[in-house]
Amino acid sequence: MPNASPRRRTPRRPLRALLAPAVDNWLARGYLAVVAAALGFFLYAVYLTPDPGFAGVWPLMATAPLGFLLTAPAFAILPFSWLTPLVFSAGVALSGLVNAALLGLLVHWLRAPGTRSAA
């Protein structure tokens, strides 16, 4: 089998290409830091304090508008019992990554020369 090709890592490359704008500029990294801080505050309030209060508002506000879009239809259809802190944290992390990638793409678009027409 001299023509056997080595193992390819093609499934990881599209994922890396999708997530690269989320971490390759300072605006997106700063946004991810804000989302991580809000999520950390939420997890601290839920697991270590007796009354978490409105701790879930901060991660939702940090990941708006995608965070609202992911949770609003689910609240209308399903009861609140399915929304455990783990599911909420995963949704916030996913929303934060998508928003950071969109911010990164916006920064790339604004920095690219000749992409905008002078009005």
Domain that holds residue 67: 16-111
- pLDDT at residue 64 above 70? yes
Structural domains in the chain (count): 1
Q: Is the dihedral of CA 37, 38, 44, 49 positive or negative?
A: positive
8, part of any domain: no
Specify if 10 maps to a domain. no
Q: Is residue 52 part of a domain?
A: yes
CB 22 within 8 A of CB 28: yes
Asked whether residue 51 is assigned to any structural domain, the reply reads yes
Judge whether 9 lies within some domain.
no
Structure tokens at 1: 């089998």
Question: Is 12's pLDDT higher than 80?
Answer: no
> Is 67 among the domain residues?
yes
Among 109, 108, 110, 111, which Cα is nearest to 23's? Answer: 108
Query: Does 49 score more than 80 pLDDT?
Result: yes
At 25 the pLDDT is 92
Total length of the chain: 119
Residue 4 located in a structural domain: no
Establish if 78 belongs to a structural domain.
yes
**Whole-number Cα distances in Å, 62 to 10, 11, 56, 93:** 33, 30, 10, 10
pTM: 0.77
Average pLDDT over residues 55-64: 92
